[in-house]
Amino acid sequence: MRLLRKERTVTVSDFTFGLGTPIVIAGPCSVESREQIIEIAKAVKQAGAQMLRGGVFKPRTNPYDFQGLGLKGLDYLLEAKALTGLPIVTELMDERYLDIFVEQVDLIQIGSRNMYNYALLRAVGETKKPILLKRGMSATIKEWIMAAEHILKAGNDQIILCERGIRTFETYTRNTLDLAAVPIMKRETGLPVIVDPSHGTGRRDLIEIMSKTAIASGADGLLIEAHINPDEAVSDKEQTIDIGLLEKIIRACNTY
């Protein structure tokens, strides 16, 4: 075990996670079109977000649901980055696209469903790229630490952890957001930890309060699904907030 208790910061473009100032990554669940992501990128930047998220390869439970725009979506994200200067965060599901992601993506997300994909963890571990490692939806803290350890052992310590809720018996929320994991993971791994209240609750009405609570729990940042027209979002609209609320949350969290 090499992770234990060595404090690390992780720098993505101009922003360093783990220095005490929360960093907000915001954007739609999915990149839907060129116009959509460009308009959202401008809006989230205006709202004060530091980075732009948007899935182009989507891990959907139902194979008949929208699967993402793939590499075309990545081109749109890059265009949005060029126009706004926002670094981009998107999920890698398939090692086939690793080289393209290393070249073009600022922060590579490994999603909840792939936290146990040790071949993929090793592959991103062999790069020098910052990795956003989400907690597996049924992963214990120990298993999540070990997943980070897989990346580290392969040679990459540029890891940001993301608590995104776990499956429990509770049905009022999509997942149970485990905020106790934030101080535990920070202490056990020394890595920056951010919180995703969107997948963590599945509920638009809980994003503001859980964002503030996440920051109060010591989170180094937030990953928030936001859209210019949340009701029209093609994926995860129930948990997607509008830009006005995003701005309010960012203001509250920076001055918390």
Q: Is 112 in the site for ligand PEP (CB under 6 A)?
A: yes
Pick one of 23, 24, 25, 29: the residue that binds ligand PEP (CB under 6 A): 29
Q: Smallest distance, Å, CB 189 to ligand PEP?
A: 18
Q: Smallest distance, Å, CB 109 to Mn ion?
A: 11
Task: Identify each DSSP E strand in the chain by its residue range.
Answer: 10-12, 15-17, 23-27, 51-53, 88-91, 107-110, 131-134, 159-163, 193-195, 221-225
* Residue 204 partner contact from Mn ion, ligand PEP, none using kind-dependent CB cut-offs of 5 to 8 Å: none
Please state, in angstroms and rounded to a whole number, the distance separating the CA atoms of residues 54 and 35. Answer: 13
Angle at 31 between CA 26 and CA 32, to 5 degrees: 130
Pick one of 129, 150, 164, 186: the residue that binds ligand PEP (CB under 6 A): 164
Pick one of 22, 27, 28, 55: the residue that binds ligand PEP (CB under 6 A): 55
* Residue 134 partner contact from Mn ion, ligand PEP, none using kind-dependent CB cut-offs of 5 to 8 Å: ligand PEP
CB nearer Mn ion, residue 189 or residue 198: 198
Phi, psi of 250, rounded to the nearest 5 degrees: -65, -40
Q: Smallest distance, Å, CB 118 to ligand PEP?
A: 17
Q: In whole angstroms, what separates CA 27 from the centre of its chain?
A: 10
Q: Is 227 in the site for ligand PEP (CB under 6 A)?
A: no
Site for Mn ion in 179-238 (CB under 5 A): 236
Sign of CA dihedral 160, 40, 33, 238: positive
The answer to whether residues 185 and 18 touch, using CB atoms and an 8 Å cutoff, is no
Q: Is 29 in the site for Mn ion (CB under 5 A)?
A: yes
Which residues are near ligand PEP by CB under 6 A? 29, 55, 59, 91, 111-113, 134, 164, 199
